[in-house]
Structure 1
Amino acid sequence: MTTTDTTPTARRPRTRYDERMYTLMNRREGVELYATAGRRRAVVIAHVLLTAASLAALFSAFATATVWLSFVPLMLLLPWCIATGVINAATRGLLELRTRVLDERQLAERDRVRALAHRLTTYVLLCAVAGGIVVGELGGLTAGGVVLPVLISAFAVHWLMPMWVAGMTAQDEPADETDA
């Protein structure tokens, strides 16, 4: 399914999947959840905390052989998914939509967000390595006991950082002229 608009600045969805995702990411229900910068930041912080709590519960479950802790991420999955949806709605699917669906401004914003996110991830990884070395030296732990949690955490941060940065830097939408 193709569109008839051929102007270079008007990129439109070209497949049913693209149209469905574009429609889903641009729905207006729940706009109150991300209408202001403070609310968007609160959702991103909640998402970061839910991710950290899930990882901490998994690491603790493996380290202490406490089975019930491995179920904590399952309990946190629903609020984590809701927070993910709110961030995606706030950014209008900036990181989820295909390139051909986005216009030039959105493509530039996505590139900016990804560059900033990966720069932040580099700093997080540097701190994780330094922290692993310090914990290993001061705590007397071997590197093997610290490596797996650091690698899993690095993967999670690398995977989620662009979404967190996009949610934190999303701009307020212009007010409708009819609302005045």
Structure 2
Amino acid sequence: MTTTRLTRYDRSMLRLMNDRRAAAWYATAARRRLAVAAHVTLTLAIGGLMTHMFLAEGEPLWAVAVMAVLLLPWMVATGVINGATRGLLELREHVLDERQSAERSRVLARAHRVTTLLLAAAAATLLITGGIAGDAPKAYAAPLLIAVLVVHWVMPLWVAGWRAQDEPADDDALEPGTPGR
């Protein structure tokens, strides 16, 4: 951390992001990747329901109810990923140490590359579909652009959660047979 004084907000966020009470949820790489996969799945489900609402005729109030129900596990998965990364993307830059700051830069760069490819694929899909149909598919343009925007927003979280490393072992615990104890 730098010598910048931490505000009350910074201290509370640092405490929250370093709270290890839920560490069992993200203790292993498999659990962290499961949390990321669940978050991706829930994001896709909520996005699909929003697209259905946008394109459906009539009153799709059931979609709003399902989205509201899916939002709670989505928020839990977000918290699990944030806990696994110790708030890498949620903490302010001056709160992070040099290693965390470098990791944040790597995560943001990789997420930017993935999102760029996704945006290129979305544009190509609309252009190809428009070329085949003879007209741009205007009804799908807005949901597709919103979906890409949402993915752009959460991609750094997914990349950070996927790349998160295991916690280092305690220094107090020596290997069996190690002299010194």
**Is the shorter-chain TM-score for this pair beyond 0.5, marking a shared fold?**
yes
Q: 1:60 aligns with which of 49, 52, 67?
A: 52
Q: 2:111 aligns with which of 117, 142, 159?
A: 117
Bigger Rg, structure 1 or 2: 2
| Bigger shift: residues 24-33 or 141-150 | 141-150
How far is the alpha carbon of 1:137 from its aligned partner? 4.2
Letter paired with 1:164: W
Letter paired with 1:64: A
State the alpha-carbon separation in 1 of the partners of residues 116 and 55 from structure 2. Answer: 27
How far is the alpha carbon of 1:62 from its aligned partner? 2.0
Corresponding residue for residue 93 of structure 2? 99
Structure 1 residue matching 2:46: 3-state secondary structure: helix
Runs of 5+ consecutive residues of structure 2 not aligned to the other structure: 175-181
1:23 correspondence with 2:15? yes
1:158 correspondence with 2:127? no
* RCO comparison, higher one (Cα < 8 Å, 6+): 2
Q: Is the 8 A contact 1:13 1:22 kept in 2?
A: no
Structure 2 residue matching 1:116: 3-state secondary structure: helix
- Post-superposition Cα deviations, 1:109-142, rounded to whole Å, max 9, x if no partner, equal 0000000000000011111112223333446764
1:46 correspondence with 2:64? no
Percentage of matched positions with identical amino acids: 51
Structure 1 residues 138 and 95, CA, compared in 2 at 3 Å: closer, same or farther? same
Structure 2 residue matching 1:177: 3-state secondary structure: coil
- Post-superposition Cα deviations, 1:66-111, rounded to whole Å, max 9, x if no partner, equal 3311322211110000000000000000000011110111110000
Q: Is the 8 A contact 2:29 2:166 kept in 1?
A: yes
Q: 1:82 aligns with which of 76, 79, 92?
A: 76
Structure 2 residue matching 1:97: 3-state secondary structure: coil
State the alpha-carbon separation in 2 of the partners of residues 138 and 117 from structure 1. Answer: 31
How far is the alpha carbon of 1:177 from its aligned partner? 3.2
Runs of 5+ consecutive residues of structure 1 not aligned to the other structure: 1-8
Structure 1 residues 157 and 29, CA, compared in 2 at 3 Å: closer, same or farther? same
Give RMSD over aligned pairs.
1.8
Q: Is the 8 A contact 2:129 2:137 kept in 1?
A: no
State the alpha-carbon separation in 2 of the partners of residues 140 and 110 from structure 1. Answer: 44
Q: Is the 8 A contact 1:11 1:101 kept in 2?
A: no
State the alpha-carbon separation in 2 of the partners of residues 55 and 111 from structure 1. Answer: 28
Instruction: Give the alignment's TM-score, normalised by structure 2.
Output: 0.88
Letter paired with 1:27: D
How far is the alpha carbon of 1:150 from its aligned partner? 1.3
State the alpha-carbon separation in 2 of the partners of residues 141 and 24 from structure 1. Answer: 51
State the alpha-carbon separation in 1 of the partners of residues 87 and 51 from structure 2. Answer: 31
State the alpha-carbon separation in 2 of the partners of residues 96 and 13 from structure 1. Answer: 18
| Bigger shift: residues 161-170 or 131-140 | 131-140
State the alpha-carbon separation in 2 of the partners of residues 53 and 178 from structure 1. Answer: 45
